[in-house]
Amino acid sequence: MKRVLPKVLLGLVVLFLGAQLVRPDRSNPPVESDVDAPPEVKALLKRACYDCHSHETTWPWYSNLAPVSWVVAHHVDEGRAELNFSKWAAYEAKRRAHKLEETEEMIEHGEMPLPGYVALHPEAKLTDAEKKVLIDWAKQR
């Protein structure tokens, strides 16, 4: 057992270091447009939503370390594909209305922001009053 453990540990270190060579795309494409919202709403969206739902992602330090980098990049890709405030004007009016309806529902049911995201980014936690501001704004659209 004493002979195997160092080899296993060395293998894990080599595997970890080799994984660092597989770098996901962590770019922020240019912002094409932005959602039209009052300053209070815009501030909440930027604080709690934009890291995954815009081209204004602030990539945390741990997004540089594989395999965590792969998970973070995948979450951002999925978030941008589902709703991207940096492409808001490109959405047809019907699609914008549908996205706002989905946003309202997800905030009401506590599905967004994702609990795992809030655990790592406590500043993204929305108070009940902040949730109401976003829900009321989404309902007005």
Kindly state whether residue 66 falls inside one of the protein's structural domains. Answer: yes
Provide the 8-state DSSP code for 89: G
Residues 10-22 pLDDT 10s: 778 777 777 687 7
pLDDT of residue 78: 96
Of 134, 52, 79, 75, the C-alpha closest to 101 is 134
Kindly state whether residue 7 falls inside one of the protein's structural domains. Answer: no
Number of independent structural domains in the chain? 1
**Domain limits for position 130:** 25-140
Kindly state whether residue 74 falls inside one of the protein's structural domains. Answer: yes
CB 76 within 8 A of CB 51: yes
pLDDT of residue 24: 82
Kindly state whether residue 83 falls inside one of the protein's structural domains. Answer: yes
Kindly state whether residue 19 falls inside one of the protein's structural domains. Answer: no
Residues 43-100 pLDDT 10s: 999 999 999 999 999 999 999 999 999 999 999 999 999 999 999 999 999 999 999 9
Kindly state whether residue 103 falls inside one of the protein's structural domains. Answer: yes
Kindly state whether residue 9 falls inside one of the protein's structural domains. Answer: no
What is the arithmetic mean of pLDDT over 123-131? Answer: 96
Residues 90-123 pLDDT 10s: 999 999 999 999 999 999 999 999 999 999 999 9
